[in-house]
Chains A and B, each alone.
Chain A
Amino acid sequence: MTDADKPTKYRLIGLALPRHDALDKVYGQTKYADDFTMPGTLHAKVLRSRYAAARIVSIDTSAAERMPGVHAVLTARDVPRNETTSKFGQTHSAGGFEGLYRVLADKKVRYMGEAVALVAAETPETAAQALRAIDVVYEPQPGVFDPVEALKPDAYRVGEEDTNVVCSYKVRKGDVDAAFARADVVVENEYRVPFGDHVYLEPESGTAWIDEDGVLTIRASTQVIEHFRDVADILRLPHNKVRVIAPMLGGGFGGKEDITVEAYLALLAYRTKRPVKLTYTREESILSHSKRHPYVMRYKTAATADGKLVAMECELISDAGGYPFLSPWVLLYSTVMATGPYKIPNVKVDAHAVLTNNTFTSAYRGFGAPQVCFAYESQMDAVAAQLGLTPLAFRMKNYLHTGDELGTGYALESAVLTDETAERALAALGEPTKPRSPWEKIGRGIASGMQSYGRLVYLHDSSRSFVGFELDGTVVVRCGVQDIGGGQTSSIAQITAEVLGVSMQDVTVYFGDTALTPLAGTTTATRMLYMSGNATLKAARAVRDALVTKAAEMLDASPDRIAMADKTFRVVGDKDHSLSLIEVLEACASDGIPLSNLAQFNAPAREVKESANVEGQIHPDYTFGTHAAEVAVDTVTGQVTVLKLVAAFDVGQAINRLSAEGQLEGGTACGAGYALLEDVKMDRGRTVTCALDTYLVPTAADLPDVTTIMIESGGGMGPFGAKGIGEPSSTSSAPAVTNAVADAIGIRLTRLPVSPERILTALKEGQAKRDDAVSRRVPELA
């Protein structure tokens, strides 16, 4: 359900136009990283640590090197700069945190699956055999696998530093203790969320070669082509001698934000001077790439009898795994968004990211917001029940509005329509479903969320885009976006076509190539439409202005009276005088007026003082929305059937309605999987769910169609007032589902996933924390 039929002030913006790449994808013609092969390609494989915590006593590669068909066997000592302190491969190196990135394990392994050696050989089979011929002698160490344990002073040290704490933050506002003392209702709970895998359809893959100009070129599935800088640093090459190309991606979800195969490929191609290819199996992918952070979250929430939130205290402990990667930033997001879209006068947050010998954790759709959203939205329902208020009524009394302050003291500047999203989401659930049998219980839940779009303000984020006409009236855009399947390039074409008065088919977008397309930053942080959409809009407007000025001169009218649409320039109110696009382009060309423009968009930047105390503005802006769910719980087996799912969001302005809907649907499904199913299980650092028969994600048979409601406030910072929707669409989905389960069974489970076994256990033994309020709850939500 969408508002698709309403009239719009734009020609193309907001329309449900099929993406330019849609048919290719349906026909299987899109070329992904693994579909490209160079003549003479060698095949790479990675030897990975069999231990989660061990010292490397020795590595003997001689037998592997002697094998016929093996061209290179590399270990840490072959890497020119094996350790870099990653500033996360972006355009602005900001202070704050520097995560150690170690290409190949050296002396110590910190998680199971850490890369120890690389092989390039004539065939994948030979490479696999060569891996087995490498003799690594390990001295296993005790390791530490629980972040709470790892915090203890005498815990095993994961890294080389004398603490396992990666970073700590706090937020302080008002006086929580005084507020708790005065409050009428105080609810305290501990929540836990598991590791998550991104399960992109396309596992990590790439090919590297040295091109005819001696430039080390890597075509890889990545969300960040600007890791070319990190690769250059690793090889001690000048930055302009490394090029990264990202073809269309089969999904990213944050898992391809860190370097994956790029450095390995670069090292092997540089050593062998041959093209080298590496594609992970699913098992290798799950074993070795970043995971979503598990958190332990202690929440204490207080309200007055009339339903006003007065205090929230949160303690967050995040499992960073073996290396920091993006953990400091993920934790910062969690810290800022720990209290959700609620106005709370007294806030205290303490957050810690801790190294363990588990697989490292890093970016995952939502970047620290979904974890805390599960906790605060569970708390909201629990407090509402204690107060005898419906979940909606209680939330409506407490939502943030424009001008209200977050815990950090930052006052929201843009549109905040959470109320409307909540009312509409709940209403869209419609009539309650009747239980199909006496064994079944039906429940409903809502959850609201807030999620930033755009990167941290102190990163001075920027994006560039080039827009230009060809002489035949077609348009070329060059913009270094990574298209990860969200329709990133298509939206850029749509924006360009809107401004330049041409059709989307007239626009060709070159993307994702550090040598050919102006750098546009990462496709992460729900920033690509916001940043590159604005850069493209700026460039297209500059081109348009130049053409309109020329047309005005030729038509002898003032430029503000010129209308440019359908490849024609007209004088408004004058039917007799018009010029074709081609005529104006030719005139510009002969007069030396540029037909193109390269624009840079800079996000608002703030300096943040480097301290553990998080204050003021941290993100450019936030997207607000609400999910609603209806579930049926089988009380005999504990199985949950999701009957209805609704996502209602203020998207600011939909650029491509189909793509925006796709994000809402996919994000909601992703959250439902987080709620009910997804769980990377690790046993002392060993991932035991290394394939898709054990790491289960929902299938099409498991979820209903998602009802999507898009509200268009026009109040976002993106092009045409758009807000970002990629990550926000997922954040509040999980707690909507778990709140529905709690409503159905009258027991609140505080640990994800809410599996059949956990539900049945709770029902049987009544041991799970019984939210006494739930038993006194008011059955109607609204």
Chain B
Amino acid sequence: MSLQSYVRPRGLDDALAALADPRTRPLIIAGGTDVIPAMRKMRLGEPQAAGDDDDRPGVVVDLSQLDELRGIGEKDGMLLIGAATTMGAIARHELVKDRAPALAAAAASVGSPLVRNRATVGGNLATASPSADTAPALLAANAVLGLASARQGRREVSITDFFVGYRRTLLQPGEIVAYILLPLSRGLVRGRFEKVGLRNADAISMVCVAVEMELDGRVCREARIGLGAVAAVPVRAFAVEAALKDREIDEAVARECAKLVHEHISPIDDLRASARYRSWVAEAVVARMIIDMACKARS
């Protein structure tokens, strides 16, 4: 049998200790909504095939009940979210809805109520699926991730550096995402998230977009745009952001700037949609969101 044990550490240090020895082949589990389906394919109950190196997990370390990793609060004018906080808790939280609406909407778009009650934001980021729905929202918010491990201690990294390749992050072995920090949007900054899926629940994004804009009347002071499911990793549309900066927004400007999104995306064909569809929709949705937000600002 591959799976030897399951541990639910009492504190963060215990958890990091449990993850420290790679020879035990530890596997982090939080909500388990990515891990459990993956484990079903690992034939955990079966003996090791003769001659093969067993790369199946040996110990499952459950972070879901660690108080240090759960909860939502304000810290030095920033929003602090524990990595093991569930999507449901994030989507329902008044402070998040009010001051980080894109993230609230992204969390609310994940799966279904059943999934949101278990799925955590840390798990969403660590899985690093190109279509992870909270990633564009956190990119658009310029979030900072707090990481922790027994070997390296604590460090903070920008979300823009976190995804290093298809389903790869800069997390080191034994390292976890502990918390997420994002600036609370001030009066003029608005956030939006839009997901394009094949149905309204339990659907993986074909494209998802988050936009944060600071608007001064119709003038865009600053914009940050995150996109998912259009490249190997969730991406920022820096070129669009730069083009929008200090421009007075109307429909033509929004459309013109949105075209620059193609500099940052390289979608593929898969079962859900073609690359062509993703390109069309990424550009059109970015344009629509900018137009809609600018209209709202005026009214």
Residues of A near any B CB (own CB < 8 A): 125, 128-129, 437, 439, 636-639, 677, 681, 688-689, 693-694, 696, 698-702, 755-757, 760-761, 764
Hey, which chain B residues are within 8 Å of A761, CB to CB?
277
In the docked arrangement, what's the CA distance between A639 and B271, Å?
Answer: 16
In the docked arrangement, what's the CA distance between A637 and B284, Å?
Answer: 8
**Contact among A125, A437, A636, A699 with B281 in the assembled complex (CB-CB below 8 Å):** A636
B200 touches A701 (CB 8 A): yes
Hey, which chain B residues are within 8 Å of A756, CB to CB?
196, 198, 206, 273, 277
**Contact among B46, B199, B280 with A701 in the assembled complex (CB-CB below 8 Å):** B199
SS of B interface (majority)? loop
In the docked arrangement, what's the CA distance between A696 and B204, Å?
Answer: 11
Hey, which chain A residues are within 8 Å of B54, CB to CB?
none
A757 touches B285 (CB 8 A): no
Hey, which chain A residues are within 8 Å of B284, CB to CB?
636-637
Hey, which chain A residues are within 8 Å of B200, CB to CB?
699, 701-702
B112 near A: Cβ within 8 Å?
yes
A639 touches B202 (CB 8 A): no
Nearest CB in chain A: distance from B230 CB, A: 13
B45 touches A125 (CB 8 A): yes
A760 touches B202 (CB 8 A): no
Q: List 30 A-B contacts (CB under 8 A).
A: A125-B43, A125-B46, A129-B47, A437-B292, A636-B281, A636-B284, A636-B285, A636-B288, A637-B281, A637-B285, A638-B281, A689-B271, A694-B271, A696-B198, A696-B199, A698-B199, A699-B112, A699-B202, A700-B201, A701-B112, A701-B200, A702-B199, A702-B200, A755-B198, A756-B198, A756-B273, A757-B274, A757-B277, A761-B277, A764-B280
In the docked arrangement, what's the CA distance between A764 and B200, Å?
Answer: 24
Closest to B45 in A: A125
Hey, which chain A residues are within 8 Å of B201, CB to CB?
699-702
B243 near A: Cβ within 8 Å?
no
Hey, which chain B residues are within 8 Å of A437, CB to CB?
292
Interface range, B side:
20 to 34
B203 near A: Cβ within 8 Å?
yes
In the docked arrangement, what's the CA distance between A673 and B111, Å?
Answer: 19
A637 touches B196 (CB 8 A): yes
Residues of B near any A CB (own CB < 8 A): 43, 45-47, 112, 196, 198-204, 206, 271, 273-274, 277, 280-281, 284-285, 288, 292
Hey, which chain B residues are within 8 Å of A125, CB to CB?
43, 45-46
Hey, which chain A residues are within 8 Å of B199, CB to CB?
677, 696, 698-699, 701-702
In the docked arrangement, what's the CA distance between A701 and B281, Å?
Answer: 22
Closest to B207 in A: A637
Nearest CB in chain B: distance from A675 CB, A: 13
Closest to B287 in A: A636
Hey, which chain B residues are within 8 Å of A638, CB to CB?
277, 281
A760 touches B46 (CB 8 A): no
In the docked arrangement, what's the CA distance between A83 and B280, Å?
Answer: 52
B280 touches A693 (CB 8 A): no
**Contact among A128, A637, A694, A698 with B46 in the assembled complex (CB-CB below 8 Å):** A128
Hey, which chain A residues are within 8 Å of B277, CB to CB?
638, 756-757, 760-761
**With A637-B196, A699-B112, A699-B201 in contact, is A688–B46 under 8 Å at CB?**
no
Most chain B beta-carbon neighbours within 10 Å: one of A125, A636, A639, A688: A636
Closest to B40 in A: A281
Nearest CB in chain A: distance from B213 CB, A: 18
Hey, which chain B residues are within 8 Å of A677, CB to CB?
198-199
**Contact among B47, B274, B288 with A439 in the assembled complex (CB-CB below 8 Å):** B288
